[in-house]
Amino acid sequence: MWMDHPGWVLFGTWVAALFTLGIATFLYKDNPVYKFCEAVFVGISAGYWFVSYFWQTLLPKLGYPFYAGVKTVFVGPAEWGWLVLLIPGTLGMMMLLRLVPKAGWIARWPLAFIVGYTAGLRLITFLQSNAMTQLQNSVQPVVRYNESGQFLGWESFNILLVTVGTFAGLFYFFFSQEHKGVFGRVARVGTWFLMITFGAAFGYTVMGRMSLLIGRLDFLLADWLHLIR
Amino acid sequence: MTNGVNKTFLEKMQAIDRRVIFLFIGLAVALPLLFHVVFTEKITPIVGAIYDRVENLPEGSKVLISFDYSPSTVPEIQPMVDAVLRHCAARKVKIYIMGLWATGQNIADETISRVLKPEFPAYQYGEDYVNLGYKSGNQGLINVILTDLKKMYTTDVHGTAIDSIPMMAPIRNLRNFDLILSFGGGFPGMKEWVLFAGDPGRIPVAGGVTAVSAPQLYPYYPSQLLGLMGGIKGAAEYESEVIRHYSRFENSSHPGIDMMGPQAVAHIVIILFIVVGNVAYFLTRRREAEND
């Protein structure tokens, strides 16, 4: 393919490197170069998703079957199953009416359909997986033994920690009673567990962001400047 | 040193210009990359569970790998995918590739061209691996293919009829897979696989997610989620385990392990900044109390 030509690969690498540096200039302060790179990125992303959904969803799911269905009516033997496609097609057109200020309210109908469908689909699985199964997983024997009857200290400690954390956390979110006395102290323990959880989540977030930075610097140092590998 | 000079220094420590911090972080990442600082990784049980499951799969087992991510998370997710793909191919299991994200399809194509084709030339398309491509529908798609895969997938990514692909013959729905591996970090992703395939279908689900998403998935482990690779650390652990057991992969790329050096140094720098800022804050407060 023409894109695999070394000249195009080199051109692509330079464009990617310059845009990476352009975005990184924001670390110093907001500037026109950053704004330009940001606008290009947003535009290309929106264009990519539009084209992607058009070719991978709209045409195979609606366009081609609709065309094939209509064709059968004229060429025969006539099939009428395609008529059902008029429903999603119409709902899609109604959604686009958001772009027309006076008819924007019509878009609420397909939105209501999406919300209702999603809520219905997720309700049962959420109840089953996030409520019942999670509850079942939380209620475990605190003292654990292995198959030969040996006490498993570390596993028992972990289960105890989960049990205490779950109860204390639930106490913290119980607002019908004032957080005073024993109730208040347990709720305070719940706060500690929550803080540790937030800290761990933040630590993970830092690791994730660092990975992206490493990925970009690796690209600049290896693929662009050839300083490593 | 006078008290006044000390106070100024402490105040400065509490108000370090963010650009100075950026510079230090940049150096903390760039220098280990330049000097190839690498640490040894020890596999944790949550990652080991995935490795063990793949390792113990009999030859010819069916593994579904879902590419549920976009280029923005490639630095974190791709090392996991590469390592798992190598491991699966080394175990000679049948690999079924699909994606809940439109961008996953292109990444899957690129991964096949970069990893499977050159490193496992004996692996034949249609016999040993197949790319089913992207389908829209998010969790709705999983919900449908849980009972009838061919209702949604009539062709593979190249337009070849599913029924003419030999390795698709025994597949009727998701329950026919021995393991489902999802890689991603957003919606739809691992959570949807657990909720709509793993739990209702009693199918083992595992995979890897971005570090940001990992804490939300820990509650599912181990009952609802077989194992989890969280961020680049999970990838590095899996890579090191694969290399430890399969010496043929020693010379393959292992970006997860390579990235853990800069990662560790950057974390140390961040911790130092937090410590310095806090020490300066408490010393300032104590001096202010003494002066009052």
Quick: pLDDT tens for B66-122: 999 998 899 999 999 999 999 999 999 999 999 999 889 999 999 999 999 999 999
**B88 and B183 assigned to the same domain:** yes
The whole-number pLDDT of residue B7 equals 60
Question: Is the minimum CB–CB distance between A116 and chain B shorter than 8 Å?
Answer: no
Residue B20 lies in a domain: yes
What are the chain A neighbours of B229 within 8 Å (beta carbons)? none
Give the DSSP letter string of B217-241.
HGGGTTTT-SEEEEHHHHHHHHHHH
**B175 and B66 assigned to the same domain:** yes
Question: B177, B175, B174, B206: which is closest to B189 by C-alpha?
Answer: B206
Give the CATH number of the domain where residue B93 resides.
Answer: 3.40.50.1000
Domain count, chain B: 2
Q: What average pLDDT score do residues A48-54 get?
A: 89
Residues 60-119 of B with CB under 8 A from A: 72-76, 102-103, 105
Question: B232, B185, B226: which is closest to B51 by C-alpha?
Answer: B226
Nearest to B231 among A128, A211, A216 (CB): A211
What are the chain B neighbours of A217 within 8 Å (beta carbons)? 26, 29-30, 33, 262
Residue B206 lies in a domain: yes
Is residue B198 a contact partner of residue B182, using CB atoms and an 8 Å limit?
A: no
**B107 and B249 assigned to the same domain:** yes
What are the chain A neighbours of B33 within 8 Å (beta carbons)? 214, 217-218, 221, 228
Question: Is the minimum CB–CB distance between A31 and chain B shorter than 8 Å?
Answer: no
**B56 and B196 assigned to the same domain:** yes
Report the alpha-carbon angle A142-A148-A154, nearest 5. Answer: 35
The whole-number pLDDT of residue A138 equals 85
Q: Each residue of A5-48: pLDDT tens digit?
A: 889 999 999 999 999 999 999 999 999 999 999 999 999 999 98
The whole-number pLDDT of residue A179 equals 87
Residue B258 lies in a domain: no
Task: Flag if B30 and A217 touch (Cβ within 8 Å).
Answer: yes
**B22 and B117 assigned to the same domain:** no
**B30 and B63 assigned to the same domain:** no
**B236 and B282 assigned to the same domain:** no
Closest Cα of chain B to A104: distance in Å? 25
Quick one: pLDDT band at residue A55, thresholds 50, 70, 90? Answer: confident
Q: What average pLDDT score do residues A140-149 get?
A: 89
Closest Cα of chain A to B167: distance in Å? 24
Report the alpha-carbon angle A204-B21-B31, nearest 5. Answer: 80
What are the chain B neighbours of A126 within 8 Å (beta carbons)? 195
Nearest to A221 among B33, B200, B214 (CB): B33
- Exposed / middle / buried, residue A106 (Cβ in 10 Å: 0-12, 13-18, 19+): middle
Domain layout of chain A by residue ranges: 152-229
Residue B259 lies in a domain: no
**B17 and B82 assigned to the same domain:** no
Residues 17-56 of B with CB under 8 A from A: 19, 22, 25-26, 29-30, 33-34, 36
Give the DSSP letter string of A51-89.
HHHIIIIIIIIIIHHHHHHHHHHHHSS---GGGGGHHHH
Which residue segment(s) compose the domain that B126 sits in? 45-253
**B16 and B118 assigned to the same domain:** no
**What is the predicted ipTM?**
0.89
Could you say which residues of chain B have pLDDT below 70?
1-7
Q: Each residue of A156-197: pLDDT tens digit?
A: 999 999 999 999 999 999 888 888 899 999 999 999 999 999
Is residue B193 a contact partner of residue B143, using CB atoms and an 8 Å limit?
A: no
**B114 and B239 assigned to the same domain:** yes
The whole-number pLDDT of residue B2 equals 47
Is the pLDDT at A1 greater than 80? The verdict is: no
**B29 and B162 assigned to the same domain:** no
What are the chain A neighbours of B224 within 8 Å (beta carbons)? 129, 133, 137
